A = this chain, B = another copy of it.
Amino acid sequence: MRPALEEKAAALDAADPLGAVRERFVRDEDVTYLDGNSLGALARSVPGRIDEVIRREWGELLIRSWDRSGWWDAPERVGDQIAPLVGAAPGQVVVADSTSVNVFKAVVAAVRMARGADPGGAVRDELVVDSTTFPTDGYLAESAARMTGCALRPVEPGEVPAVLGPRTAAVLLNHVDYRTGRLHDLPGLTRAVHAAGAYAVWDLCHSAGALPVDLDLHGVDLAVGCTYKYLNGGPGAPAFLYVRRDLQPRFDSPLPGWTGHREPFGMRPAYEPAPGAGRGRVGTPDVLSLLALEEALTVWDGVTVEAVRTKSLALTDFFLECVTEYVPSGRVEVATPVPHGERGSQVALRCEGAAAVMGVLGERGVIGDHRPPDVLRFGFAPLYVGFAETERAARVLAGALA
């Protein structure tokens, strides 16, 4: 007789409405991949599409592909593919550059919006940033503060409402903490930022493609996010930038590149920004990665973010259940919040010697990652992770810790 949790896993897999979607990905039955929150898996249709892009569109059509193969419009077109996954109506998302570069654009633009909204009002010279953020956001926010004459105020997300005031220009927050997997209160914090007359910039790296974001519904001002985690765009695929429609005319980018110009091929000496989200573009689009991402996004055909969220919570609940059952008491501490409303799509466990433990897991075919000093991170990408392998991962973890 199989152990009870193996039975349960089999039943959960059998009842999984997203089970068939797993076949859209390249998978290795010997590996349990719980690092899709760092690099998403390869969709089966991507290699063939990129071979066509390289051989036919680049190799044969050459320069003509900017027009004929739709390369030029890809940043906006792929942005519109991402838009429904983050709750945005079309025309507000553009795909370009890295998340880091987009953080800089968004934060500087937010400070300028805050100052432009009420030129005779209070001096808005404070930039509030999540002190627990993924470091690059903090580094870029610091640079944005330095270059716009703001003071940087790093605080924990829960403390943000308490520090907001008439001097707050903008607030940079993470929807899901990269380390603990904690889901922050996007609607409530956005309302608090707006009540202070400031602008909210959200980093969606660890939520886009994993759970509903509802940018339009909650009136978020600006957002950035990664496409190579839960959106499976491939290593280093370009990031996205959301600029709410009514704010677009006031989006004054610190990186006004030629491809974001109203008339890019007019070769005009003066910069005039494009009318829509396209003004967030800077240089020549990175075609190979952009079109790999476009193809990867076809795995979402017939899949809703709500269904993904339901499965994500079921996976992380089940993993926590297995860890509780298998891992000797006291060996790990669960760093991820248990309430569903506070949990992203990963489970973080603190333990001694986390780096070495993750090394052993890797040797035994369970891939997660380690974040210093003591965190084991297990990401659950509901499009391709199943319950049986989730049970196995917990069992292997228990063995590694034994």
Chain A residues in contact with chain B, CB under 8 A? 26, 28, 31, 33, 35, 38-39, 41-42, 46-47, 50-51, 54-55, 58-60, 62-66, 71, 97-101, 104, 131, 134-136, 138-140, 142-143, 147-148, 154, 179, 228, 234-239, 253-259, 261, 265-269, 271, 282-290, 292, 362, 367, 369, 371-372
Q: A63-B369, A257-B136, A290-B236 are in contact. Are A269 and B54 (CB under 8 A)?
A: no
Q: Are B282 and A101 closer than 8 Å at their CB atoms?
A: yes
Cα–Cα distance between A136 and B260 once the two chains are bound (Å): 10
* Nearest CB in chain B to that of A37: its residue: B63
A143 to B273, CA, bound (A): 13
How far, in Å, is A301 (CB) from chain B's closest CB? 20
> Smallest Cβ distance from A184 to chain B, in angstroms?
18
Q: Which residue of B lies closest to A283 (CB)?
A: B98
Across the interface, A101 reaches (CB within 8 A) one of B39, B62, B101, B266, namely B101
Are A47 and B54 neighbours in the complex by a CB distance under 8 Å? yes
Report yes or no: A288 in contact with B97, Cβ–Cβ below 8 A: no
Identical chains bound together, number: 2
A-B residue pairs in contact (CB < 8 Å), sample of 14: A42-B55, A42-B58, A42-B59, A47-B54, A50-B54, A98-B257, A99-B284, A100-B259, A100-B282, A134-B258, A139-B261, A142-B256, A237-B288, A286-B289
* Contact A54/B42 with A97-B98, A283-B99, A288-B236 known, Cβ cut-off 8 Å: yes
Shortest Cβ distance from residue A239 to the other chain B in the assembled complex, whole angstroms: 7
A138 & B288 in contact (Cβ 8 Å cutoff): no
Docked-complex contact A62 and B41, CB < 8 angstroms = yes
Instruction: Pick the contact of A39: B39, B63, B372 (CB < 8 A).
Output: B63
